[in-house]
Structures are given as structure tokens and as C-alpha cells.
Amino acid sequence: MGPLIRIQGSMHKFQYEDTLENRMRPYALNSLGRGFIFQQDNDLKHRYKHIQNLFSRRHITLLDWPSQSPDLNIFERVTDWWEDYVYLRERSPLLVYSNWYGLDYMPLPTTNQVARAANFIYAALTFRKLLNTQTLKPVTIQDFIPLCACQYERMFNTTRVPDVKKDRLVHLSDSQHIVVYHRGRYYKVLLYNKKHLLKPVDLQWQLQQILDDSSVPASGEHHLAALTANNRTVWANARTTYFSKGLSKASLKAIEDAAFFLVLYDEDLDFDPKDPSKLNKFSQAILHGKGYSLWLDKSFNIVVSKNGRLGCNCEHSWCDSPIMTHFWEFCIGMEVTQLKYTEDGNTVGELEETPPVPIRLKWDLHPECLDLVRSSTRIASDIIAEVDLQVLYHSDYGKNFIKQRKVSPDAFVQMVLQLAYYRDARCFNLTYEAAMMRLFREGRTETVRPVTRESCDFVLSVDNPDISVKEKLAFLQRACQKHQESYMNVMCGKGVDRHIFCLYILSKHLDVKSHFLKEVLGEPWRLSTSQEARTITRRGQASTIFVPTRKAKHRLTGGFSSTYSWCPPSGTVRLKC
């Protein structure tokens, strides 16, 4: 922070040069010494050649700033680096390591696979229209404070395109089709006829044509999507080598240009509180499928099981889970309150004219590409084999019971996790919890660190027979209060981990070695957690949101709940949801 300089009228480039040379530089040298970093926005006068020459001549280091933004918005800068370094530069497979999933827990409105898919497609495109016309009501905190909606911009018509060193997010302004995968075959399904969005009954007819198609997959087509589950550089090289011309190029373009990707899964999926294996199977089908049933590069895949269950697999670089939760709630709400089904489980309405017939995508795959598809399938199978996914269906009590004990539900779950981890590992370890930063423009997430003195005191008190139940409850309340305070502080911009992340990026950019950063970033997150609210929108914020009554058997509107990944000291991986 330097001295304020009063400017009469508008500052032009010569005044700016004089200010830099005679005011800023002497002050910075005197206060900071040589090697300081100067930050400026992308205003036109800041980018004139003679201004840039001044920086070069005086050996002044500039903080790199996104060219598309004229603002000194540090959270935008953090978001830009976060997306770049955490996601797009990462070379590991997207399968399991990056993409995440959500499930449909509501009572099944129909067991007709294509009817359920048709209504969801129509609701999804209605949501897209609200986004495009900027008429979607914003999500707010306490019906007053709006949250940043920037992440919604790339929800549809978006693909993460692999490249050798860093992937690219390619977003189209519009797309008139989706791509459907069924039994190893790919279909381009047009969504409009004569510039009008097809009705659910039309979409159901189109999808039924796909189910009735008796053709067999072409050589290599059945497992083709396994390429997106391979190492990103391997997939990038394959994409350039084998998909740069002919039928394969055109078909790949159809997938990447699609509004989203739909999977008509060829097995029944469901859940049963008395049979945990069913929910585990359901979750596994949406998280990783068969290793080749999901096109992982697409912004999101909608999976519809043979008996009508829904799931969503989402690519992580463009958004965090609350965005898709809002979308999911909207679509499920519109499905059950507006679109509905006939008594025999079909979509409502009559077919007025024949919709566009789905177009089967064709491939001309080189023998070397076929070998790579086979090896990619093996890699995907190995990744899946390393996953131990156990999903707990908990119905003994909910957040109302927890709130009656005067503790935050999220903090309560965090304390439960700390207790479970301590009992298993007999020690405390660094724990990660994601908190949203959407109170700020283009904010993504920040880290809450749940392990505190108060949380440790609570955990140690639980199994201590000399401490009364009343005292244990007091320990729990203090630990939860501390956690809630930390969460609120982080949401308001008082977290430290993204600041440390930026220091790390700057140290790499400036080739500065830091013992502090090496030590802080070298400690692994043994327990990684995130929690998602039961509902994103409040009553009245969106007219189509389904709000269950107190007597409803299933209260989860979208199937998103708390998700926990656990990496114990032994090195094995356990995923808990």
C-alpha cells in the first residue's frame, strides 16, 4: 500500500508513466527493496508499449493477470489459477480421480426408462433457456444475499478437450442436439424441429427408436469412451492422431458439441434400506460405470437406468457441486410437479408429427487406435478395482434432531468423522473440508480445517469413562461452535489455503524456493470431506422446486448428500458417501 496521488481529470498514458517512474518506483524500492512485484489491471493505458518498455527497462516484475478482465479482482485471479493448476494441468485420468456423481433418491415416478429420460431432457433444456435468457432466479442466502452465478455459464454445450500439457474447456454458445449412448452405440439426437423445442412425448419416441435398434457396435465402438478414462496426455495424442479426419472426426465433434451426454444404462439400478448392496451398485454405476459407459470429458453425463433411476456424473473443472445440485432440484421438481406421467408411465401428450430420427454415429478406427481402446479399458478396470465405495443409507435421525441439541448438522457430521477416524487410526490427522466462496465474484472453494483443539477434546472425551454424558455433550457443542465459526470465517474470505496456493504458484512463476511452502504443502490430507445441503433453493425462490411435506417418506429432492473420501495412513483408499 503506497501513498495516495490525486489526479486532476482523467489519467492518460503519460501521467501514468510519470506516476510509475517518479512515485511508485521510488516508494517501492524504499519500502520493499528490489525484486518487488507490481500489480495492475488491464486498462488500455496500462498496456501501451512504452509503459511495458518502462517495466522491462526498470526490471519491474508484473503479476500476470487474465487478459479478459479489467478488474483487480483477486478471487477471479485465484479462480483462474485454481482451474488451471488443480484441474486442467492435471494429467491423471478423470475417472474417479476428478469427476464426481449424484444420485436420484426420490420415489420412482415411472419405471419407463425412455419416458423418464425424455422428461428430464425437457426439464434440462428448460433450465438452459432460463440461463440463456438470464431469467433464472439467483440462489440467495436467507432470501437476501445472492451468490455468484458465473459457474452456470459453462453448464451446457461444454467439453474438456485434452491437450498434451494442459486441457482446454471449450464452450459453445448453443447446441441443438445431445448424444445418447446405449449398448455400445452412439446416437446424435436432435432436440428441435422447425426451431421449436421437442416435447417430452417427441423425445420419448426418439429414445425408443434407439432402444429398438438391433444394430451392433462397430469394431472398437463399444469401449470407445474408455479413452476419456486414460491419462490425459495419452488421450490428447490419440485424439490428434486418430480423430483428426473422416468419420471419426465428425462423430467426435458431434459428442463434444452436444448440449450434454445421455447414457441409457442397460441394467436396473435402485436402492433399498434393507439391502445396502443395491445402493452401492447404484453409486458405482454413476461414479465410474463400466469404465467405458461415460464420456468423461463432457460437462455432465445423465445416466438413466433400465428401470428409470437417474444419476449424474459431472466433470469437475467447470463447477462445484452446488451448481449441479440446483440444476438437479429444478429438473426433478419440474418433472414431478409439471411434466408428470400417464397412468401407464409414459410422458403426457400425443405425438403430432414424426420427430427427427436419431442419427447413428459412425467410426473408422485405425488398428492402433483399437489397441489403445483395449488398453484404456484395462486401465479403467484397474482404477475401478481400486475403489471401495460403501454408501450408508441413514434414516435414524436427521438435521432437526441435531439442531435440537444446539449444534450445526455439518459440524456434527465432521465431529462424527473425527471420532470415527481416531478410533480407526488412533491419531488425529490433517482434514480437508470444502467451503463455497460464491459470496465473491467467480469464487469457487476454500478450505475449512475441522481439526481443532476443541474437536480433539471432544473426541478424547467420548471414550473416557470418567467423563459424564452431560460433559461430553458440552464438549460436542464447543467443538461444533468452533467449527461453525471457522466455516463462516472461511466463507467470508478469511481462509488461508487458497492464499497459500497462490503463494505456491507465485513461487513457481518466480523460481523462488520456500521452505515454508514445502513443509506446509508436503503434509497430505488424510481425511478429505465435503458436504452438500439437502436443498439449494428455498421455498419461493424457484416455483418448480419440489418441497416435500413433513410426512414424505423420502425428503432428498435431488439425491445429493454429504460425500466423504477417506485416505488412511496405510495408503489404501476408501470412499465414503
Length of the chain, in residues: 577
Measured CA to CA in angstroms, residue 271 lies from 106, 183, 531 at distances of: 10, 23, 21
Taking the chain, what is the end-to-end CA distance rounded to the nearest angstrom?
Answer: 46
Report the interhelical angle of 321-334 vs 113-132 (nearest 10°): 120
- The residue from 46, 177, 288, 316 that is catalytic is 316
- Answer for the pair 344, 111: CB distance below 8 angstroms, yes or no: no
Q: What span, in angstroms and rounded, lies between the C-alpha atoms of 99 and 228?
A: 11
Q: What span, in angstroms and rounded, lies between the C-alpha atoms of 60 and 35?
A: 7
Closest-CA residue to 293 (of 263, 313, 315, 269):
263
Query: How do beta strands 192-193 and 196-197 pair?
Result: antiparallel
**Phi then psi dihedrals of residue 300, to 5 deg:** -160, 150
Query: How do beta strands 574-576 and 389-390 pair?
Result: parallel
SS3 at position 447: strand
Query: How do beta strands 261-264 and 177-182 pair?
Result: parallel
Sole residue written with cell 460433559: 471
**Active-site residue 316, yes or no?**
yes
- Answer for the pair 232, 162: CB distance below 8 angstroms, yes or no: yes
Q: Residue 316 corresponds to which cell in the numbers above?
A: 469437475
SS3 at position 142: coil
Query: How do beta strands 300-304 and 310-314 pair?
Result: antiparallel
Q: Half-sphere exposure (CA, 13 Å, Cβ side) for 483? A: 30
Report the interhelical angle of 409-425 vs 469-489 (nearest 10°): 110
Query: How do beta strands 359-360 and 140-141 pair?
Result: unpaired
- Answer for the pair 159, 256: CB distance below 8 angstroms, yes or no: yes
Q: What span, in angstroms and rounded, lies between the C-alpha atoms of 108 and 200?
A: 18
The residues carrying an active-site annotation are 316
